[in-house]
Structure 1
Amino acid sequence: MPRRTWSKVLPPEAAEREAAGLRWLAAAQGSGGAAVVTVVALEGPRLVLERLTRAHPQPLHAREFGRALARTHAAGALTWGMAPPGTRGDGVIGAARLATPTHPEAPDAPRHWGEFYATYRLLPHLRNAVGRDSVSPQGARAVEEVCALLVDGAMNHPQPQLLEPDTPARVHGDLWSGNVMWTETGCVLIDPAAHGGHAETDLAMLALFGLPYLQDVLAGYQEVSPLAPGWQDRVHLHQLHPLLVHAELFGGWYGDQAVAAARACT
């Protein structure tokens, strides 16, 4: 039977980036990592993917997904912010210009997670959110205070047990509930912004928009790779990036939530 596929057309660099991210995440399946939608072909701007059939969420699938996601994270990355191999330039995700030998003025690789998170994930979206009046100047100062602590390394914290404390995890990077596809055989990852980051970021984003059976996912994750003490208190910190992205794109309520999350961090 021919494989069932579907296609989407993106800007060529975006199609390349998504295909590379899916393949990089899928490489962890050999060590028990999470299932990932198969890239069938990449034809310039056209990305051809395996067609998946949706099914109702199941708690057993949620628990197994948690176990598998822990193993995906444990596959690791070479540097903080590392873009997946095969991405043009193989630079730091979110950088205005990729750090390559031909671009010596490009930003250096971040020294630690806090520097990466503040510089490449928070501050660019904060500037844009302020520019569209989604975040007030006073609210921006609350976020900037968090960013200063992050850059100084004061908010760094260990990874889950399967990773060394200061080793980047292999994260999906945009793991809201809509990017977890429930099928008859289990959960499948789609639409990543994959990079080397902190494992708690993926889990915090699952919580932000309400994944079904999230407690089962977390229980399965902790069975395989227990989270560092105090992880519940850091959920606001890890949700700050998606909240700022939404404040930039949609304004209003998301800006207020981003500022509230920043204030909860300090």
Structure 2
Amino acid sequence: MGILSKFDLTGKNALVTGGARGLSFGIAKALHEAGATVALVDLLDTVNEAAREIEGFGIQGDMGDADDIGRAFEEALAKLNGRLDILVNGAGVQYRCASVDFPKDAWDKVIGIDLSAVFFMCQQAGKVMLEQKYGKIINIASMNSFFGGTIVPAYAASKGGVAQLTKALSNEWAGEGINVNAIAPGYMISEMSKTMREVPGQIDELTKRIPAGRWGTPEDLQGLAVFLASDASEYLSGTVIPVDGGFMCR
């Protein structure tokens, strides 16, 4: 078997949360192009349109609702004929506010979607993958998994938690044929960063601190996502990999 064949996802089934747009849709598109059948879960009603673009399945689901997480997972699993090879936890929200004024409802929402939902989706997927003795879980972490950021206490806490959760699940499941890893994007052109990029002068100031000299795009995550979803990464587990144009080294 040649090395390139290990990157082939033909016959694999994938579920991507937050997949209706942005970075998650970019990853879903890459998985599809590598051969996987993909189900997208997203609260947005455009999820079905996005799914049609990659010849997959769209399921509306609220990652902030524990009951709806279970319902959406089961619906996606049914559309994938009961087999799940790849899970990408890409759903996420952000709220910027000074910590002394940070509202409880915003805290609960960010922690609920960015951390708790990641665990519950991993838990559901783990039950299936442990039976199969095979699975690839890719969590979306952040630069804030490594440092605290500014006026994003809930986001930093949740993404720090995603990094540790990735390691904890790897410790339990790596010996069972399940690889659990995380991608930590840097400054990316996405809906989540829109308000930040609209602050006059901020995008230029931040870009100066990125050795690559630009912000990332969904395409910059695609190669790593396919690698982590494929058999080429079968001895890699428990890692949190920055994709940040070199920002973390600065």
TM-score (ref. length: structure 2): 0.25
Greater relative contact order (Cα < 8 A, sep 6+): 1
Larger radius of gyration: 1
| TM-score under structure 1 length normalisation | 0.24
